[in-house]
Amino acid sequence: MNQYIARQPIFNAHKKLYAYELLYRGTDTRSLADVSGEQATASLLSSAFLTKEIDDISSHRPCFVNFTQKLLERNLPVAFPKAKIVVEILEDVEPTSKVLAICRDLHDKGYTLALDDFVYHRRFEPFLEIANIVKIDVRLTPLGTLTRTLNLLSRHKVKLLAEKVESQKEFERASKLGFSYFQGYFFCKPERIGIKELSTAKVTLIRLLAEIAKKSTSIERLRAIISTDVAITYKLMRFMNSAYFYRLQKVKSVEHAVAFLGEKELRRFLMLLVISELSTEKPDELVTLVLVRAKLCELLGEKCGFSANEVSELFVMGLFSLLDAMLDSSMKDVVGRLPLSDTLKDALLHRKNVYANFLNIAIAFERNQQSRVSDLHARLGLDQEQVQESYFEAVKYANHLL
């Protein structure tokens, strides 16, 4: 039986990736609604730590994992490395003497404890004495209640994590209120649409991206672009001699690197470099996310029997899917500057054609929208196992490439 999981990023106040929360998504035969909290966590831990290589999923970051009353009473967290998990105590866990004794022992052993979906009540005071992090849903919690809760929490040595942060405005408000960590997809949206013009440097990068994306651009032209830019040449050499490409002999020239990669992978490498430069003022996770989307769309396209050209376009679609957020511009304005096919433009702008189905799967998967994922992969003739395996492969691809 296959177990399915996804991950969601958690950032610090500087918008740097701090950790991921691992999310259980059911099995081949049972949806999440049919699985108890104990089964969900046990299956997630088994998949993440025993079946899969945890670092391939977590990118060597801590993983927040939900623990129920029963799992805490069995002291399950102690079976897993304290450096790799954050023990997330669910909101319905009661602070019984047994649970508190186990949690104190975990705290003393160096485990990080987080209180999930926290709503203050006096009976939770013993948890607050040993917890490291308190998670609060800033969307569902009224401002008055939030302010009172923060005042009460100020007596304790806990850090605050804001959940469901979906906009830059919400991020800024939570930051001013004293939150240290932030979970949500606020970083995926433009911050100042229509307020500022693109800088000259970014316009130049967009033009370079357009040149790379042109089907008429030859491999000689691509080689010329690399050879005239010292920074790109350096990064290409470092990439080619990284652990991702195990080679007995080092790649020492642009010509050698170009010959090894071929036109398709060379275009991708250059697109990645440009997109990385475009997002230098943004969280690093933005580039990770588009790489996962790009590879996932490509892999699913291959499984659906799409042509090589169509699969290549699906990759580009995923890679370009957050250019509006990277540039703080509208997708319409960004797409208008690039030589993309009508099908690709329509998918990026309107999310309604057959290409868009693949991008929508990627977005629904990363946001843990299970019913939407099921509907979309059924529409494309894919099964859940194909989507999950492709997701893991896409995550590994992004981790290695970055």
Please write the tens of the pLDDT for every residue from 102-157: 999 999 999 999 999 999 999 999 999 999 999 999 999 999 999 999 999 999 99
Spatial CA neighbour of 207 closest among 347, 348, 199, 295: 199
This prediction has a pTM of 0.84
pLDDT(93) > 50: yes
Beta bridge partners of 262: none
**Calpha distance 84→82 (Å, rounded):** 5
List, in order, residues 6 or more apart from 273 with CB less than 8 Å away: 232, 235
Beta bridge partners of 87: 65, 113
Q: How confident is the model at residue 4 (pLDDT cuts 50, 70, 90)?
A: low
Structure tokens at 134: 């308190």
pLDDT tens-digit series, residues 173-228 = 999 999 999 999 999 988 765 545 667 778 888 888 888 888 888 888 888 888 87
Q: How much is the pLDDT for 32?
A: 46
Spatial CA neighbour of 54 closest among 87, 83, 28, 25: 83
pLDDT(351) > 60: yes
**Calpha distance 348→356 (Å, rounded):** 7
Q: How much is the pLDDT for 104?
A: 97
Structure tokens at 224: 């010329």
Cα-based distances in Å from 57 to 9, 363, 395 = 11, 17, 7
Task: Kindly state the percentage of the chain with pLDDT values over 90.
Answer: 49
**Calpha distance 284→336 (Å, rounded):** 25
Q: Is 246 or 33 the better-scoring residue by pLDDT?
A: 246
> Topology of 3-188 in CATH?
TIM Barrel (3.20.20)
Q: How much is the pLDDT for 113?
A: 98
Q: How much is the pLDDT for 244?
A: 61
Q: Are strands 181-183 and 159-163 parallel, antiparallel or unpaired?
A: parallel
pLDDT tens-digit series, residues 235-276 = 888 777 766 665 556 877 888 888 888 888 888 888 988 899
In this structure, CATH architecture of domain 200-401: Orthogonal Bundle (1.10)
The owner of tokens 């580009």 is 316
Instruction: Break the chain into its structural domains and give their ranges.
Output: 3-188, 200-401
